[in-house]
Amino acid sequence: MIKYILRRILYALPLLMGVNILSFILFFVVNSPDDMARMQLGQKHVTEQAVQNWKHQHGYDLPLLWNDRASSNKKMTETIFYQKSIGLFLLDFGVSDSGRNISEDIKQRMWPSLSIALPSLIVGLLVNISVALMMVLFRNSYLEFSSIVLCVILMSISSLFYIIGGQFFIGKLLKLVPISGYDTGFSAIKFLILPIVISVISGIGSGARWYRTLFLEEVEKDYVRTARAKGLTETQVLFKHVLKNAMIPILTGVVVVLPLLFMGSLIMESFFSIPGLGSYTIDAINSQDFAIVRAMVFLGSVLYIFGLILTDISYTIVDPRVRLS
């Protein structure tokens, strides 16, 4: 398995290089170094000289990908792409164009993101599985039918509506929790309740229906019939046998998103003023801060690849028939 993981990591390197080149090209198609300088220097009294000074100081006065004027291998190394990218592979994200240490910011902002995303995932998973099991348990009854209708309704509502509606109802009318904000330590709990509740409720529709499909598929299998024939009750069949076997696709689906939980949620963090990583990239794009954009795209790609490797490994753990080679 170690060989397999090492090979996957080596495969990831050209992939990351590709992502890096792509994000570099996309960024500089829209923004030129001059635009970046003007954005940082402000709108008033910005002279051409000031723009040139800024570019020189931040290393944006070099050619983008290829330096014709340089000699031999410097043609490639004395470029914005090389100078700004090489540190990424050592996970050195450097300093943002506004002068802040990006690694420090990421370290600081990933915890609030995680503090919403992780409980939302765990509670959401438990709730969705419970609802799905209940639907399967009461299948072919009014409860199942009304649950499916409810799930479809929940799926059809925009996530923004849940957020604004939740803030209005729970925060503004019932006054049970703060409408938005964040704090450190245990004081953060009261700020996290509402976003977690909202993200769980907004996910029930699609989650419960998906798990119900998985459970129904299992319920029809031979081993379930055998279990019933042995005289087990329906609850014993569902919780002891069906749930265990249906966990394989559930678990692998969860593992792949685990690393991406660090990246946070843009809308949720924005509406609840949670200082996470979700809005970090968007803010950077708006302020044309290339250093942050490339760091976040790179980090996202690394985490995604890591998630895929974890998924592969989790297959071997939950299903002994799978072997990595």
Partner 1 sequence: MRIVFLIIFNLLLSSCDLSQLNNPYSEADPNLSILYSSFSERPKRLDPATSYSTSENSFLAQIYEPPYQYSYLKRPYQLEPLSAKKLPVINYFNAQDVLLSGNFSANKIAYSEYIIEIKQGIKFQLHPAFIEANRHLSSDQIEKLTQLNDFTEQGTRELIAEDYVYQIKRLADPKVQSPIAEFMKEYIVGFGEFSQEVKDKKKIEIKSTPLSGVTVLSRYKYKIRIKGKYPQFKFWLAMNFFAPMPWEANEFYQQKGLGDKNISLNWYPIGTGPFFLEENNPNQRIVLTKNPNYHETFYPSEGEQVDKEKGLLKDAGRKLPFIDKVIYILEKETIPYWSKFLQGFYDASGISSDSFDQAVQFSASGNAQLTETMQDQGIRLQTSISTSIFYMGFNMLDPVIGGDSEHARKLRLAISIALDYEEYISIFMNGRGIPAQGVLPPEIFGNLEKKEGMNQYVYNWKNNNYQRKSIEKAEQLMTEAGYKSGVDPKTGEALVLYFDTTSVGAGARAMMNWYRKQFEKIGIKLVIRPTDYNRFQDKIRDGSGQIFTWGWNADYPDPENFFFLLYGPNGKVKFKGENAVNYQNSKFDQLFEQMRSMDDTEQRSQIIQQMQEIIRHDVPWVFGYHPKRFALYHQWFENIKPSFMAHKELKYLRIDATSREQKREQWNQAVFWPLIAALVLFILVLIPAINAFKKRSRKTVQ
Of 1 and 86, nearer to partner 1 (C-beta) is 86
Round to whole Å and give the CA distance between 121 and 263. 14
**Cβ contacts of residue 194 below 8 Å, gap of 6+?**
166, 167, 170, 171, 177, 178, 179, 272
68 binds partner 1 (CB under 8 A): no
Residue with tokens 């939950």: 318
Query: What is the distance of C-alpha 221 from the center of its chain?
Result: 35
Of 48 and 68, nearer to partner 1 (C-beta) is 48
48 binds partner 1 (CB under 8 A): yes
Q: For 226, list phi and psi in degrees, rounded to 5.
A: -60, -45
User: Closest separation between CB of residue 4 and partner 1, Å?
Assistant: 37
Of 3 and 44, nearer to partner 1 (C-beta) is 44
User: Closest separation between CB of residue 188 and partner 1, Å?
Assistant: 8
Binding to partner 1 in span 87-146, by CB under 8 A: 95, 98-101, 104-105, 108-109, 112, 137-138, 141, 143
46 binds partner 1 (CB under 8 A): yes
User: Closest separation between CB of residue 288 and partner 1, Å?
Assistant: 8
Question: In the 8-state DSSP scheme, what is residue 179?
Answer: S
158 binds partner 1 (CB under 8 A): no
61 binds partner 1 (CB under 8 A): no
Q: What is the 3 state secondary structure string of 90-143? A: HCCCCECCCCCEHHHHHHHHHHHHHHHHHHHHHHHHHHHHHHHHHHHHCCCCHH
CA atoms within 13 A on the CB side of 173: 7
Of 12 and 242, nearer to partner 1 (C-beta) is 242
Residue with tokens 């708006």: 286
Of 57 and 158, nearer to partner 1 (C-beta) is 57
234 binds partner 1 (CB under 8 A): yes
Q: Are 131 and 147 in contact (CB under 8 A)?
A: yes
User: Closest separation between CB of residue 324 and partner 1, Å?
Assistant: 40
Instruction: Select from 120, 121, 93, 119 the least CA-distant residue to 107.
Output: 93
User: Closest separation between CB of residue 280 and partner 1, Å?
Assistant: 8
Helix (H) or strand (E) segment spanning residue 206: helix 189-219
Round to whole Å and give the CA distance between 325 and 95. 41
- The token pair at 157 is 């509502």
- The token pair at 141 is 């009854």
Applying CB under 8 A, the site for partner 1 has a residue count of 66
Candidates 188, 197, 260, 324; binder of partner 1 (CB under 8 A) is 188
Q: Which window, 61-69, 78-86, 215-223, 266-274, contacts partner 1 (CB under 8 A)? A: 266-274
Of 76 and 130, nearer to partner 1 (C-beta) is 130
Q: Are 59 and 41 in contact (CB under 8 A)?
A: no
Q: Convert residues 10-39 into a mask of x (bound to partner 1 by CB under 8 A) and - (unbound).
A: --------------------xxx--x--x-
Q: Which residues bind partner 1 (CB under 8 A)?
A: 30-32, 35, 38, 40-42, 44-50, 53-54, 57, 95, 98-101, 104-105, 108-109, 112, 137-138, 141, 143, 164, 167-168, 171-183, 186-191, 231, 233-234, 270-273, 275, 279, 283, 287-288
